Structure 1
Amino acid sequence: MKKLVLGMSALALSASMTMAMDVVRMGTEGAYPPWNFINDAGEVDGFERELGDELCKRAELTCEWVTNEWDSIIPNLVSGNYDTIIAGMSITDERDEVIDFTQNYTLPDPSAYLAMSMDVDVSSGVIAAQTGTIQAAFIAESGATLVEFATPEETIAAVRNGEADAVLADKSYLSPIAAEDGQLVMLEQSEMIGGGVGMGVRESDGELKAKFDAAIQSMKDDGSLNALITKWEIGETFE
């Protein structure tokens, strides 16, 4: 009887652990519309919220949303504060040395320059970018002077107050800002950097990565991913 009780206890523990593993904490920034942002109700919203909820449904996972500042978003994934990064993060070789990525759920989005004047020389000017982004790395290697800020809002403020000549960021992020602010203009020059955006997971979480890979592929196959990309005006759709 004692062995039976122990066996039943072990089965119960195993079941509870399996259930716990099915609760996936989705880490995002919540400050980069239309990719992810906090709405008026105080909830995570945007393209990646809608995408992430659908991916979790298809993968049969229960998901919870967690916000984290961008500059520590990878270290806090590795340390276990959440289980994925779904935050407009471009797939790069440098990041892939620390974490794993799913297949991309968007194609590379052109990076654009936003400035107060069309006369800005981005090759020799002072260019703002968010810390830890592919845009910051690009500027650092371009010969221009890089000024980095913790949040995307601060990069825009730097242009408005004259601290920077322009900001380089995803075109999908900058376009609505340019449309709403008549003092800011999008320069004609753009940059194609990065390898598309994917979900980040810990290197030890191969099973979780495989589940999200399958879910992303199913959305590509049935056209629902392209529909979301078009709805949120993120960039080019998959062929």
Structure 2
Amino acid sequence: MMVIPGTEVMAQDKPEVRIGTDGGYRPWSGTTPAGELEGFDIELAKAVCEEMQRTCRFTSQPWEGMIPALEQGKYDILVGGISITPQRAKRLSFTQSYGNLPINVAAKKETGLNGSADWLSLKTALKNKVIGVQSGTQSQKFVDTELKGEVDVRLYDNQDSLNLDLLAGRIDAAVAGRSPWIDLTRTENGKAVEVLSPDLDFQDFPYLGIGVGGLLRKNETDLLKDWDKALCSLKEKGVVSEISQKWFGFDIATAPDAERCKDNQ
């Protein structure tokens, strides 16, 4: 667990908000060579903190330990492309959704796996292949649910390690949210990789959730209310759309939640 220098957002003298993030899941949350956090969720969370007039401190650690750390009280909220799912919502609270992207399979162009019109066709093409996925993610849940017994699965602690093995040819394909593939294919090495069709989202696979949000303990009702109020304002001002254009190249912002934003109108 590491506090990244320069990630404190100073505001008025109110209780500090401790924010946990992965720091290795671009473009949601990444770490620069200088050791500073950056990304869509980092920039948005800073905007939320300014809107709330609260001091916020960001800390990065591997994803698989973040939810236990939240439950133990080490953080007040988690951000970083976290899918809103019924399973997580049973014991924790989510802010309203502020962005949504599908899950995709990616592979090097030389494998010739692209071109499937639907999931059944792609699933057939992947049979007996070596598939990489980050552990503890919705992508792993998708692989465990839809590809169990059909492929050889390799689990990774973070997206960067997964990308390295995909580029090196140590795995045939990989599964992740669309956003890491956007980031990878923008790099020089990533030009060898392509995102395979089709998009895989909650409309066909409801257990994948309805987008991403901040994750809090159930007892953080005041912070949840304040965070949602700030998100409502930032959505209405177009700030969420502007930040998503910067980090994704298109608008991933979801509409304001009518129920949570009714007091903002």
| TM-score normalised by structure 2 residue count | 0.77
SS of structure 2 residue aligned to 1:231: helix
Alignment of 1:196-215 (within 5 A): 196-215=211-230
Deviation per residue, 1:35-76 (Å, 9 max, x gap) = 111123322111111111110111121101111110011000
1:183 pairs with 2:183: no
Aligned counterparts of 2:183 and 2:218: Cα–Cα separation in 1: 36
For 1:225, the aligned partner's letter is V
SS state of the match for residue 189, structure 1? coil
Check the 8 A contact 2:97/2:254 in 1, yes or no: no
Partner SS state of residue 128, structure 1: strand
SS at structure 1 position matched to 2:197: strand
Are 2:134 and 1:118 equivalent residues in the alignment?
no
Deviations 1:185-231 (A, max 9, x none): 22223211431110001111111111101111111112111111111
- Report if aligned partners of 2:21, 2:58 keep a CA contact under 8 Å in 1: yes
Distance 1:102 1:118 in 2: 40
Q: Which residue of 1 aligns with 2:159?
A: 152
Aligned positions of 1:32-181 closer than 5 A: 32-107=25-100, 109-116=101-108, 117-119=111-113, 121-122=125-126, 124-143=128-147, 144-145=150-151, 146-179=153-186, 180-181=188-189
How many Å apart are 1:118 and its aligned residue?
2.5
> Which amino acid in structure 2 is aligned with residue 157 of structure 1?
L
Task: Tell whether the 8 Å contact from 2:98 to 2:253 is kept in structure 1 after alignment.
Answer: no
State the identity as a percent.
28
SS at match of 1:89: coil
The number of aligned residues is 219
Cα shift at 1:236: 2.9
- AA aligned opposite 1:72: G
Change over 3 Å in CA distance of 1:89–1:184 after alignment to 2: same
- Which aligned runs of 4 or more in structure 1 are off by greater than 4 angstroms? none
Q: Secondary structure at the match of 1:66?
A: strand
User: Does the 8 Å CA contact 1:102/1:212 hold for their aligned counterparts?
Assistant: yes
Unaligned runs of 5+ in 2: 1-12, 115-124, 202-207, 256-265
Per the normalisation by structure 1, the TM-score is 0.84
User: How many angstroms apart in 1 are the aligned matches of 2:254 and 2:168?
Assistant: 39
Q: What is the RMSD computed on CA atoms of the aligned residues?
A: 1.9
